[in-house]
Structure 1
């Protein structure tokens, strides 16, 4: 994605979309704890989870809900 660390990307997208960690987790098909760990830099996403996040962001951009960073 961008040049920001993944944790900051997740926080920025979540903030821009006014989603809780739990709501984002549900949208991505991961647990709340997973999103929380990503944001707090406790873990890094798997390649599959990272692709899901990127696809989620692309979809939101196409829907006009998320601006390009």
Structure 2
């Protein structure tokens, strides 16, 4: 089973993705299939995304990186989905 690791700076990452893509919170919410309030809460650090929303956000980022529309550095990177064999994938089992 894959495990999602969310960076501690997820709110900043969401803001940076929106800034680079010139999207409003509402536009990002529509692209991800979530509500405006959800994106707003992510950015304000009030909630963290569900696993499904994390995967959708990660895919959204990957797609935009491939298109050349988005550049993320180490400080602002999308959540990473780790496979079972990836280092740290079974950290919860310890």
TM exceeding 0.5: yes
Larger fraction in strand: 2
Length, aligned pairs only: 69
Which of 34, 40, 58 is 1:30 aligned to?
Answer: 34
Aligned-residue RMSD, C-alpha = 1.6
Partner of residue 14, structure 2: 10
Unaligned runs of 5+ in 2: 74-94
* Greater RCO structure (CA 8 Å; 6+ sep): 2
Structure 2 residue 17 is the aligned partner of structure 1 residue 42? no
Q: Tell me which stretches of 4 or more aligned residues in structure 1 moved more than 3 Å.
A: 1-4
Partner of residue 54, structure 1: 58
Unaligned runs of 5+ in 1: none
Larger fraction in helix: 1
Scaled by the length of structure 1, the TM-score of the pair is: 0.91
